[in-house]
Amino acid sequence: MLIELENSIQQSIYLIHDNSGEFFLNYSMFNIKGVATSIKAPNMNAIAERFVGSIRRECLDNFILINEKQIKTIISQYIEYYNSMRSHQGINYAIPKGFDAQKFGKIRKTAILGGIHHHHYRQVAWRMNKCPPRGFI
């Protein structure tokens, strides 16, 4: 879901909502596409609410939001982190875009969103013109 959102974030804006009466508005006048979850499918709403809660707790609650450009930048960076660096419990602690962890090398970290999150990785332990350590392959 988030990978599709990341690819289409510049193209369209979607509001995923349940079938409650307050969400049936004319979104087209705001250039927003309203997408109602299926009736009697509670997991659909739970997934959307889980992501909203995650992005709020892990990202937006840590900033004083000033304008729309800032919000879009923060959310775009968070979605990239969410899909390519953050492990997910629901998929056995894997990373959706498939981060390939190194087994050798010095451990490094990169600050994400100004240091709210950190990505830990191993720096490649050898140079390209040298052989890998014995037993690596």
- List pLDDT tens digits, range 54-90: 889 988 999 999 998 999 999 999 888 888 888 777 7
DSSP state of 15: E
The token duo for 51 is 């992501």
Alpha helices (H) in 9-89, listed in sequence order? 42-58, 68-84
Q: Predicted confidence band at 4 (pLDDT cuts at 50, 70, 90)?
A: low
Other Cβ atoms closer than 10 A to 32 = 14
Bridge partner residues of 14 (DSSP) = 33
